[in-house]
Amino acid sequence: MTTLLLLGSLLTGGVVLALLARNDRPAFRIATPIVFGLLVLWLWQIVCTGYEVPLVLLPPPATIAAAVVNHLPTLAADFRQTFLRAVIPGWAIGSSAGLLAAIALDASPFLRRGVLPLGSLVSAMPIVGIAPIMVMWFGFDWQSKAAVVVVMTFFPMLINAAAGLGQTGAMEGDLMSTYAAGYGQTLLKLRLPFALPFVFNALKLNATLALIGAIVAEFFGTPIVGMGFRISTQAARLNLDVVWAEIVMAALAGSISFALLALLERVVTFWHPSYH
C-alpha cells in the first residue's frame, strides 16, 4: 500500500514538475522549487509513517513540526542565547573589524603585501577549531561564542573588502583628483561604494559562518541553554524531534538573515550593473 502511494506520488510529482519546468514565466520559475520542496516533504512523511521508520532514525516532518510547536519556549530561549547574544554581536564586530582592517591595509602597500597572503591562508583554515581556546579564555557563556564568531568572520571580510577597495579604475581616481578630492573624500565617495558588492558578499558569507561558529563553539561547553548545546545533548539522548526542531530554527535563522542581507544589498547598491 505504502509502496503504491510512494510510486504514485513520485510519478505524479515528476510529471507535474516536468510540466512546470517547461514554462518560463516568473510565476512558474518560483512555483517549481516550491512544489519540489513540498514533494520531498510529502515523500519523507509517507516513507517514515508507511514503513514505520523508527523515530530515532528519522522523524517524519509532521512530528518535527509538532516538536517545533511543543518546544517553542525552549527553542526561543536557545535562539536568544545563540543567535541574539553570540551570532549577531560576533558577526557585527568581526565584519566591521575586517572592513576597518582592510581600509587600514589599503593605505600601506607594504602591509598589504604582508597581511593579505596570510589572511587568505587563514580563511582557508578550520578556524572553528579555536572554539575550545575561546571557551577557556572567555568562559562558558555567550562571550566565548561571540569571540569565535568574531575570528571566523574577520578574515573573509578582510579579503573581500581588500579586493573590493582595489576595484576602482584609474579613470575614476583621476576624476576625483581633478575635483581636488582628498584621500578621505575619495574613499567615502568613490572607493567604498565600489567595494560595496564585495563587502555584501562577505557579509552574506559571514552570516552562515557566524551561525556555524556559534553552534559548534557550544559543543565545547555552555551554560545549559543554546542551540548547539540542545543539539548535542538531545542527540545523545536520541530525542531527535527536538534536534530537528533546532535545525529547522537554525536553517530559518540562516536563510532569513541571508535574504535580509540580499535585500539590503539591492537597496544599497541599486546602481550596480548586475541589477540592470
- Residues near another protein, by CB under 8 A: 14, 17-18, 20-22, 29, 32-33, 35-37, 56-58, 110-115, 117-118, 121, 124-126, 128-133, 135-137, 204, 207-208, 211-212, 215-216, 219-221, 227-228, 231-232, 235-236, 238, 240, 243-244, 246-247, 250-251, 254-255, 257-259
CB of 122 vs another protein, minimal distance in Å: 8
Whose cell is 576595484? That residue is 167
Asked if residue 258 lies in contact with residue 208, where contact means CB atoms within 8 angstroms, the answer is yes
CB of 255 to another protein, least distance (A): 4
Contact 62, 48 (CB under 8 A): no
Tell me whether residue 186 or residue 239 sits nearer to another protein (CB atom).
239
Contacts of 135 (CB under 8 A, 6+ apart): 144, 217, 220, 221
| Closest to another protein by CB, 69 or 136 | 136
| Min CB(10)–another protein separation in Å | 13
Q: How far is the CB of 263 from another protein (least distance, A)?
A: 13
- CB-wise, 30 or 175, nearer to another protein? 30
Judged by beta carbon, residue 140 or residue 194, the one nearer another protein is: 140
Q: Which of 125, 153, 124, 137 is nearest to 214 (CA)?
A: 153
Minimum distance, C-beta of residue 99 to another protein, in the bound complex (Å): 19
Closest distance between another protein and the C-beta of residue 254, in Å? 5
In this complex, which beta carbon is closest to another protein, that of residue 107 or of residue 136? 136
Q: What single-letter amino acid sits at 35? A: V
Residue closer to another protein (CB basis): 33 or 173: 33
For 177, phi and psi rounded to 5 degrees? -65, -35
